[in-house]
Amino acid sequence: MTESELEFLRRRTAEELDIAESSDVLVAADAHRRLALLYASRAAEMRQMPHLEVAEPEIPEPEIVAPMAMPQMSADPG
């Protein structure tokens, strides 16, 4: 199963933050924090886009057919 673009952005945000925290080089850590911020910003934009929401699958409507005659209803009582 492939990940969605939103899942990718969330994963990359977390990865960049982890790299930034473990980096001993201040400039590199800052660059990774900035990348994390860019990924997080893009993820936030995507969540606000209504056309990217997961749509419910369309269920085809069954064809309407003539009702079946019920034998107990069609008998003439008298």
The yes-or-no verdict on residue 1 having pLDDT over 50 is no
Neighbours of 20 (CB within 10 A): 17
- Determine if the pTM surpasses 0.75: no
Does residue 72 sit within a domain? no
Does residue 59 sit within a domain? no
The yes-or-no verdict on residue 57 having pLDDT over 80 is no
How far apart, in whole angstroms, are the C-alpha atoms of residue 36 and residue 19?
10
Does residue 29 sit within a domain? yes
As a whole number, mean pLDDT of residues 3-31 equals 93
State which residues form the domain around 28: 1-48
As a whole number, mean pLDDT of residues 18-44 equals 95
Does residue 7 sit within a domain? yes
Domain count, the chain: 1
Please indicate whether residue 76 or residue 32 has the higher confidence score (pLDDT): 32
